Amino acid sequence: MNAESRSRAPIFPHQHLLGIDVLSPQDISALLDLADKYVELNREIEKKQSLLRGRTQINLFFEASTRTQSSFELAGKRLGADVMNMSVTSSSIKKGETVLDTAMTLNAMHPDLLIVRHHAAGAVELLSQKVNCAVVNAGDGSHEHPTQALLDALTIRRRKGRLEGLIVAICGDILHSRVARSNILLLQAMGARVRIIAPSTLLPSAADRLGVEVFTNMADGLEDCDIVMMLRLQLERMNGSFVPSTREYFHMFGLDEEKLARAKPDALVMHPGPMNRGIEIDSLVADGLRSVIYEQVEMGVAVRMAVLDALSRNLPGGGNAP
């Protein structure tokens, strides 16, 4: 397959990808369809494209990340962009430079694509108002992480052939999770039935307003599920602050074979990584036959290539519509 031979007609009616909340089902499907093609490309020996040749992509990470940053880096490079990684450590934030200062500084370097992760909800949107390039939200605080939701959807769709009508259980730290928020929005938009499972300390107080089924008992929540999505529990939220201990959390909410038996026999197990083995997920399950955790990583690169492709078509000089 040759991506360059495809029409470069616009397929995505947004300048940025800031969150799932503003996307229509058509937008989501268009990105997933495009990503499907990149999955195939990535499995070939010759992976390099020249679609983004001459484009500059800056990965601006205010929060440390290995997987997401390398996934975006690889996606950009495979499409031929010049990719620069910029990690803004907390120490340089303390020097007084604000997120807007950083945005204006980078904007002056004329990037075409800016991939941003920030620890504050809304920070990426704020930044996007100040730059001329396309901005991708790579995670903003507890708000959204749209490419994660897209890659999860791609993984599910390729395995199950659809999203509509599936029962998806999202388990763990819903309160602080941008992954959960984006996934809930996307899955609901695509017609899946979403459940969330967590102790009440890790649920938003208005969880009942999300339009999802809420469970505080893992076994009940997993009953007849098609998909089990586990979330990472951050270290600082263990040991007495939100849950009493890691062993109690594993006992009550850790995904093991016994709890998973309540889900459908062909249920898939997912995790955005990095995993805390023995805390939210048992190794037997993480490495088991139903786990698609590494497939998610593969889909991640393809989805991000699709996002970069789609957004670049809307940049000046980006569209080659016939």
Contact characters 190-229, other proteins, x per CB under 8 A: --------------xxxx-xx-------------------
Q: Mention every residue, 6+ apart, whose C-beta is less than 8 A from residue 149.
A: 20, 179, 182, 183, 185, 186, 187
What separation in angstroms does the CA of 33 have from each of 99, 108, 157, 306? 34, 34, 10, 9
Contact characters 73-112, other proteins, x per CB under 8 A: -------------------------xxx------------
Alpha-carbon gap, residue 133 to 75, rounded angstroms: 18
> Is there a cis peptide before residue 25, judged by omega within 30 degrees of 0?
no
Q: Are strands 193-197 and 167-171 parallel, antiparallel or unpaired?
A: parallel
Alpha-carbon gap, residue 263 to 99, rounded angstroms: 44
From the CB of 16, what's the least distance to other proteins, in Å?
12
**Is position 178 an interface residue for other proteins (rule: CB under 8 A)?**
yes
From the CB of 93, what's the least distance to other proteins, in Å?
9
**Is position 21 an interface residue for other proteins (rule: CB under 8 A)?**
yes
Among 10, 80, 122, 278, binds other proteins (CB under 8 A): 122
Alpha-carbon gap, residue 153 to 162, rounded angstroms: 9
Closer CB to other proteins, residue 79 or residue 115?
115
Can you name the residues that pair with 17 across neighbouring β-strands? 136
Closer CB to other proteins, residue 56 or residue 142?
142
**134-142, 216-224, 259-267, 294-302 -> range binding other proteins (CB under 8 A):** 134-142
Q: Return residues touching other proteins (CB under 8 A).
A: 21, 98-100, 118, 120-123, 125-126, 140-144, 178, 181, 204-207, 209-210
